[in-house]
Structure 1
Amino acid sequence: MHFSPPFPLAALCLVTFAIAGCHAGSNSAPLTAAPANPPSASPAPSLRLVEAGRAAAVIVLPEKPMASVRYAADELAAHVAKSTGATLMIVSESAVTDDADVRIYLGDTRAARAVGIEAAQLPLETFRLLQRGNALFVAGRDGTGDPLDRDTSAGTLFGVYEWLERAVGVRWLWPGELGTFVPQHATLTAAPIDVTIQPRFFQRYVRPGLGWKSNNPALGFTAKAAEEYARVQTVFLRRQRMGRSERIAYGHAFTDWWSKYGREHPEWFQLVNGKRGPTTENARYAMCVSNPGLHAEIVAHWRAAGGATRPGMSLINVVENDILGQCECPQCRAWDGPTPADVNKYYAPNFKVYGAPFVSDRYARFTLAVQQLAARENPNAVAVQYAYFNYFQAPTSGVKLNENVLIGFCPSAGWYPRLDDEHAWYKAQWQGWRDTGARLFFRPNYFLDGYSMPFIFAHQFADDFQHHARNGMVATDFDALTGQWSIQGPNLYLLMRLHVTPDADPDAILAEYYAGFGAAAPQVKAYYDYWERYTMDNRKLTMDVFYDRVAIRWRTWAKVPHRIFPAAAFAPADALLAKAAAAVAHDPECSARVAFLQTGLQHAKLCCAVATKLTLSDPASTAEGGREALRELLAFRRAHEREWFANLNHNAWVEDLSWKLAHETQQPAEYYP
């Protein structure tokens, strides 16, 4: 017996979305999905939910709806009201009268069961949309818990979001009211439908990035703004169907094992220069992954936590500590495969993996050994490991794994934008791991990149994501949102939408985004196309600057933005946004969205101006020399922070590590003069 994943590997969703752009005022459903259930012999006619601005339908809930179903009703009613001006009443099933108009049944109602929808029998997070007679049914597998919690199965809520996209043309472009694109409809109809939809990936996770802390808090959000930003972003992520149907836990598994077991079992730990354990006191250490005693102890921990009797996926975390694999013992070396000829080709010489031993095969064999040992007690045992550091590249020895080995593909280099051959190489590493027979989840740090700059790599990222989705990707874990919603919109919109529609044309997805700017859509597209060309054309410059300035892509970007984006680069972008603003001068909502982009662009320029004066990469920088530029930046942030154009706490974290700052910025943001 083998573990059966929550979604069949050959067809991870019952229905795959195929979403195209929507336009304000359109009453058509721009996306289609193949029916998972046989259509009725005589399809029902379209239902009128709102007619000439008057409600012609009611939303019907079970007598005791779960919190997520009640929330789904509120979301449906609010979006329909924003589109049509009509308020759909929300009633319980027992309150429905015979003369009621069209009914929209949400959740596990008696009426849903009467037409054959057994919501409780659906897989987690799955939903069915069905029109029958004068009723539209939106019913999914729902669980108890907070509707916004990623561990709450919210099938009905996801069904509401799917229907709003199809029938109303709603798109959520970025967090907050301004980012909610709702086309206007005087009359709103529901077309005949019968589909069952299950998320493609059993975990869809973009880490929210709400925990950034800085020693200079004045650079970030005020406390109340941070709280509100967290709320609107959480709502936004749920609207993008972030969640999971399996509660998998992983991460560096052995960080405290030396203190617990080092004295009694030093043989479980790395052997380096003839010594077991950390090379210096309190240093990080790797494990001796070939040691059978280590394998047995890992399984003993799993057994003690109930793993041997756990139904479904019984996960064993064997993710190595956050350090290179470096055990030099003969047994670990015997498990290694041949070193690839290009092992260092795509690593910078100052990168810690450059020149390190190639140890992917030993980690593949380690993970398999633990999984097979645990499988003697529970055939559903699943061992999770990262492909990381000097065990990131695909194994070369022909080692074969199985679907109960789950590999988190975690590149520690390969930042976008990549050179073409480099991009192909990284995809080949994924394919190599997939060819072992393991299942894979995408666990990159790539969206930590870019700081507050117009750093657009949308199409290259989409190519990566879709390659992985076509080749065995079963889950995601992106670390993490930096919240640069205004300046990096296409990157982030594709990141969200590809989780829902992984097979869609990236340009069709981006057309959804640009449609939110109304008549300015062509100019906004040209604006972001300009920045994407600029980013791609300056790949070598970006790599050289970070190497030369000893800056780190995910944490000290603020040392170097002015070197990659000099003042002259911003002039064409300003002109394009000015044209966009003129195109929607008489459209308040679209005008506000263009202004949102202008806010992000101005913020980027201000950040560059401060970096020029305060960068730690320039010994001549002084806090006094950058005081005026910094004051202007902070005043701008206070004036615009509640527009949610960026996660300012992330900006502050990066700047804290990149700039020479005076003591004033250590004050709470509320009190900075």
Structure 2
Amino acid sequence: MSFRSLFACLFLMGDLPTRGDVTLVSEGRPLTVIVTPDRPTRVVVYAAKELRDHVEKACGARLEVIAESAVKADSRPRIYLGACREMGADVGRLAAEAFALRVTDLAVFIAGNDGGGDPLDASTSAGTLWGVYEWLDRDLNVRWLWPGELGTHVPKTKTVTAKSCDETIAPRFFQRRIRPGLGFESTHPALGFTTAAAKQFSDEQAVFLRRHRMGRSYPVSYGHAFVDWWQKDGKAHPEWFQLLEGGKRGPKKKDGRFSMCVSNPDLQREIVNRWTTKRPPDAKTPGFINACENDILGLCICENCRALDGPAPADYLTFYPPDSKVAGSRFVSDRYAKFWLGVQRQAPAGTTVVGYAYFNYFSAPTSGIKLNPNILIGYCPSAGWFPRSEEEHVWMKRQWTGWRETGARLFMRTNHLLDGYCMPFIFAHQFADEFHHAVKHGMVATDYDSLTGHWATQGPNLYVASRLHVRHEASANELLAEYFSAFAAASEQVKRYFDHWENFTTNSREKINQTMEALQTSRWRNWAKAAHVLYPPECFTPAETILEEAAKAARSDSEAAARVKFLQLGLQHAKLCARVSAQLSLASSTASKGEIKIAVDELLVFRRANERSGIGNFNHLAWVEELSWKLSEESRQTPDLYP
């Protein structure tokens, strides 16, 4: 039997010989080649490049990439990527995004279920690429700390060995998503990136997200589903829309937001009919009907909707601030659960209905309603910002469990990563604990809004959030140890630095809540109004001292020293932003036009000098600052011209 025939037989049986490890590079000398199919997909081409580049960074050896038809009959070990003939099996039979990673004493095989699209597109199935990243993670201990070359940690070695294994692996979650946060726009664009810097930031972040295997196994569409329905259908079908006091249907004011009359069976039927009409008859992917309420509370007071409501829990409003939209609202979780169930029962068999647990229908239902796995609920709290008290943290997790006990499937759809502006606002441990609880209780997907990308000040949050999608069982301490270890001799000081800021954040919980309420500040829109109050000048001094110690510890290691400098730049920038906030905050500023220009120019000079460093998403900051500060006309100019 030929090698290929033997491999085909064993691949299909899942019983490859695994008699030993394979040495790929010895003392810096390459012993292997990377083999791709003669007509590789774009995913395989990119996977080969990622493998070659990381191995070269580890040991200096640049592996040759050749097509399978060009392989010579010699005894060199080979790394086969993708659906090579030598695999002898149809990798298309693997589950979506799954890959086989198998190392024998003959070769390394990494093959996955790949799509034909752009390998950096989250909608492209990239099983072979995931297999390459899994191997780099395991056998080379590669860690991707933040986007860009400096954030790519590849331990140095002279010998590269692929350890014996035989596994087929699929992603734990059918969708893994942290929204890129690249859509923030401001009418004061000078506060943001220049055009070239914005592209660099976007490109590097796209690579980072794929390295953490962000993507999806099949398309799923959802979001606020009915935003244009009143305009299109309000006259013909006012009964589909919320009933208000006084008997009016639809928005309270012209062009205002509105919720639906979700008890109306005709509305439920229409939702299914419109979805069915648009769905291609030959569609092969799972079907998802978007039944997510508009971005507003459930407000309908009609008799039928109110009849669907369960009793409000005693603690329903305990953890919402008094100025929250939810404060004083009616508890309507059960009506929405019954709405989704009504839509699902009218849908074709196997179709999934998607809804949000949001606003006054976020808390778990109380009527004992039983849903089913064909109802997918996005967990989207309107409160629960980090850091939380222990009582609040327990309550938030209990809402997840309550929805899970209905029998529905759940995905994480929180906005909590939008918090913190560009300050060193650290909540990695509580974030990880919530993630672990969700995994334990049936989480099937994620969709975090959004990645604001302040890597130099909030790195532990963002690393833990990204890494948990691949190593969902790892503790926060284990993941943070990976992060800190990349600072080599300065790892102890960097750990102390971020421990300092996580303790500072946790201990500031009451002050944060009180300040946000007093200054009428949003946790995600206009945080820069309050930055100077929450991060006064004196709070930066101990942190600066720790980073100075880290810089001394890392001075003999250029890479570690550069990473410490990265953190120092982030802290310097945060301190500068807090100082400008004190001068220009809309909560108190009396600055003149000249004073505004001096304050903003100092900030912009820093940003222009460091916009290619990757320390943060300056376009996000421009958006927040426009809503937070008293600004003059100069910053309305393009950043390519001003200052």
TM-score scaled by structure 2?
0.97
Structure 1 CA distance for aligned equivalents of residues 167 and 458 of structure 2: 34
Partner amino acid, structure 2, of 1:597: L
Structure 2 CA distance for aligned equivalents of residues 146 and 547 of structure 1: 45
In the other structure, the counterpart of 2:4 is none
User: Secondary structure of the residue that 1:554 maps to in structure 2?
Assistant: coil
Partner amino acid, structure 1, of 2:641: Y
User: Secondary structure of the residue that 2:410 maps to in structure 1?
Assistant: strand
Partner amino acid, structure 2, of 1:470: K
- 1:298-353 CA deviation, whole Å, 9 max, x = no partner? 11101211377744521111111111101010000000000111111101111110
Deviation at 1:187, TM superposition (A): 1.0
Alignment of 1:507-586 (within 5 A): 507-586=477-556
Are the counterparts in 1 of residues 589 and 630 from structure 2 also a CA contact under 8 Å? no
Structure 1 CA distance for aligned equivalents of residues 315 and 537 of structure 2: 38
608, 611, 625: which one pairs with 1:655? 625
Deviation at 1:287, TM superposition (A): 0.6
Structure 2 CA distance for aligned equivalents of residues 37 and 667 of structure 1: 64
Following TM superposition, where does structure 1 have runs of at least 4 consecutive aligned residues deviating by more than 4 angstroms?
Answer: 35-40, 307-312
- 1:603-659 CA deviation, whole Å, 9 max, x = no partner? 000000100000000053444334323221111111111011100000110001000
In the other structure, the counterpart of 1:423 is 393
111, 128, 134: which one pairs with 1:162? 134
Deviation at 1:132, TM superposition (A): 2.4
Structure 1 CA distance for aligned equivalents of residues 177 and 583 of structure 2: 37
In the other structure, the counterpart of 1:145 is 117
Percent pairwise identity: 54
- 1:433-475 CA deviation, whole Å, 9 max, x = no partner? 0010000000000001000100000000000111001101000
Are the counterparts in 2 of residues 50 and 188 from structure 1 also a CA contact under 8 Å? yes
User: Secondary structure of the residue that 2:468 maps to in structure 1?
Assistant: helix
In the other structure, the counterpart of 1:330 is 303
In the other structure, the counterpart of 1:445 is 415
1:292 aligns with 2:262: no
1:47 aligns with 2:22: yes
In the other structure, the counterpart of 1:64 is 39
- When the two chains are superposed, the root-mean-square deviation of aligned CA atoms in Å is 1.4
1:186 aligns with 2:161: no
Structure 1 CA distance for aligned equivalents of residues 402 and 594 of structure 2: 53
In the other structure, the counterpart of 2:323 is 350
Structure 1 CA distance for aligned equivalents of residues 314 and 530 of structure 2: 33
Deviation at 1:118, TM superposition (A): 3.3
Structure 1 CA distance for aligned equivalents of residues 370 and 282 of structure 2: 26
Change (3 A) 1:357 1:622: farther
287, 293, 302: which one pairs with 1:320? 293
155, 176, 188: which one pairs with 1:216? 188
Structure 1 CA distance for aligned equivalents of residues 462 and 103 of structure 2: 34
Are the counterparts in 1 of residues 583 and 589 from structure 2 also a CA contact under 8 Å? no
Deviation at 1:506, TM superposition (A): 1.4
Structure 2 CA distance for aligned equivalents of residues 420 and 198 of structure 1: 34
Structure 2 CA distance for aligned equivalents of residues 626 and 610 of structure 1: 9
Structure 1 CA distance for aligned equivalents of residues 12 and 358 of structure 2: 39
Deviation at 1:280, TM superposition (A): 1.1
Deviation at 1:260, TM superposition (A): 1.3
Change (3 A) 1:37 1:341: farther
Are the counterparts in 2 of residues 307 and 314 from structure 1 also a CA contact under 8 Å? no
Are the counterparts in 2 of residues 58 and 100 from structure 1 also a CA contact under 8 Å? no
Structure 1 CA distance for aligned equivalents of residues 12 and 253 of structure 2: 59
In the other structure, the counterpart of 2:8 is none
Structure 1 CA distance for aligned equivalents of residues 76 and 546 of structure 2: 48
Change (3 A) 1:309 1:63: closer
Structure 2 CA distance for aligned equivalents of residues 667 and 100 of structure 1: 63
Partner amino acid, structure 1, of 2:54: H
User: Secondary structure of the residue that 1:593 maps to in structure 2?
Assistant: helix
Are the counterparts in 2 of residues 622 and 660 from structure 1 also a CA contact under 8 Å? no
User: Secondary structure of the residue that 1:276 maps to in structure 2?
Assistant: coil
- 1:170-210 CA deviation, whole Å, 9 max, x = no partner? 11100000000011111111111111111000000110011
Partner amino acid, structure 1, of 2:385: W
Structure 2 CA distance for aligned equivalents of residues 514 and 612 of structure 1: 32
In the other structure, the counterpart of 1:279 is 252
In the other structure, the counterpart of 1:373 is 346
User: Secondary structure of the residue that 2:611 maps to in structure 1?
Assistant: helix
1:479 aligns with 2:458: no
460, 463, 481: which one pairs with 2:430? 460
User: Secondary structure of the residue that 1:519 maps to in structure 2?
Assistant: helix
Alignment of 1:588-599 (within 5 A): 588-599=558-569
User: Secondary structure of the residue that 2:274 maps to in structure 1?
Assistant: helix
Are the counterparts in 2 of residues 523 and 579 from structure 1 also a CA contact under 8 Å? yes
Structure 2 CA distance for aligned equivalents of residues 50 and 312 of structure 1: 42
Are the counterparts in 2 of residues 307 and 315 from structure 1 also a CA contact under 8 Å? no
Q: How many residues align?
A: 632
TM-score scaled by structure 1?
0.92
User: Secondary structure of the residue that 2:330 maps to in structure 1?
Assistant: coil
1:132 aligns with 2:104: yes
